[in-house]
Chain A
Amino acid sequence: MPPMTRVVLAEDEVLLREGLVALLGRFGFEVVAAVGSAPALRDAVEAHRPDLLVTDIRMPPRHRDDGLREAVALRGGRPGLAVVVLSQYVQSEYASALLDSGDGRRVGYLLKDRVADVAEFAGTLRRVVDGGTAIDPDVVRHLLHRPRDPLAALTARERTVLALVAEGHSNAAIAARLHVTEAAVGKHVGNILAKLDLPPSDDTNRRVLAVLAFLRGTPS
Chain B
Amino acid sequence: MTTNRPLHLAAALRRPGYLISWWPWRALAYAGTTVPVAGALALGLGVVVAPAVAVLNAARQGRPVELPVVVFLAVAGLALAAVAPLVSAPVAGFERWRLGVVDSRPLPARRPFSGDVVGSLAARYTDAAAWREVAYACWLGTVVPVAYWTFAVLALLDLTLLASPWLVDGTDDVIVMWTTVDTPREAAPYAVGAALVLPVLWYLAGLLVAGQATVARRLLAGPPAEPAALREVTRSRARLVDAYEAERRRIERDVHDGAQPRLTSLTVQLGLARLDVPDDSPAARPLAVAHEQAKELMVTLRQIAQGIRPQQLTELGLAGAARQLAGEAAIGVEVRADLPRPVPEPVETTAYYVVSEALANVASHADAARAEVRLTQTDRHLVVEVEDDGRGGADPARGTGLTGLADRVAAADGRLLLASPAGGPTLLRVELPCRP
B264 engages A113 (CB within 8 Å):
yes
From A90, which residue of chain B is reached at the shortest CB distance?
B345
Q: Please tell me if A26 contacts chain B, counting CB pairs below 8 Å.
A: yes
B256 engages A115 (CB within 8 Å):
no
Q: Which of A99-145 contact B (CB under 8 A)?
A: 112-113, 115-119, 143, 145
Contact of A115 among B267, B291, B338 (CB under 8 A): B267
User: What are the interface flags for A69-106 relative to B under an 8 Å C-beta threshold, 1 for contact and 0 otherwise?
Assistant: 00000000000000000001110110000000000000
Q: Please tell me if A198 contacts chain B, counting CB pairs below 8 Å.
A: no
Q: Please tell me if B275 contacts chain A, counting CB pairs below 8 Å.
A: yes
Complex alpha-carbon distance, A65 and B280, angstroms:
44
Q: Give the Cβ gap from B393 to chain A, nearest Cβ, in Å.
A: 34
**Interface size range on A against B:** 20 to 34
Q: Please tell me if B10 contacts chain A, counting CB pairs below 8 Å.
A: no
Q: Which one, B40-48, B137-145, B172-180, B293-301, is touching chain A?
A: B293-301
Which of B271, B318, B320 gathers the greatest number of chain A CB atoms within 10 Å?
A: B271
Q: Please tell me if A190 contacts chain B, counting CB pairs below 8 Å.
A: no
From A88, which residue of chain B is reached at the shortest CB distance?
B256
B319 engages A147 (CB within 8 Å):
yes
B306 engages A147 (CB within 8 Å):
no
With contacts A58-B256, A88-B305 taken as known, whether A13 is within 8 angstroms of B271 at the C-beta atoms is no
With contacts A13-B257, A117-B271 taken as known, whether A112 is within 8 angstroms of B319 at the C-beta atoms is no
Complex alpha-carbon distance, A90 and B275, angstroms:
28
Residues of A within 8 A of B435 (CB): 93
Q: Please tell me if A1 contacts chain B, counting CB pairs below 8 Å.
A: no
Contact of A16 among B268, B295, B306, B317 (CB under 8 A): B268
Residues of A within 8 A of B379 (CB): none
Contact of B317 among A13, A58, A118, A145 (CB under 8 A): A145
A147 engages B339 (CB within 8 Å):
yes
Q: Which one, A17-25, A43-51, A156-164, A203-211, is touching chain B?
A: A17-25
A113 engages B302 (CB within 8 Å):
yes
Q: Please tell me if B198 contacts chain A, counting CB pairs below 8 Å.
A: no
Q: Contacts A13-B262, A13-B265, A116-B270 given; 18 further ones with Cβ under 8 A?
A: A16-B268, A23-B271, A26-B272, A26-B275, A58-B256, A89-B345, A113-B295, A115-B268, A116-B264, A116-B267, A116-B295, A117-B271, A118-B274, A146-B342, A147-B317, A148-B338, A148-B340, A217-B340
Give me 5 A-to-B residue pairs in the complex whose CB atoms sit less than 8 angstroms apart, sorted by A's number: A15-B265, A58-B256, A116-B268, A146-B317, A147-B339
A residues engaging B (CB < 8 A)? Answer: 11, 13, 15-16, 18-20, 22-23, 26, 58, 63, 88-90, 92-93, 112-113, 115-119, 143, 145-148, 217
3 shortest A-B CB distances, which residue pairs?
A13-B261, A118-B271, A116-B267
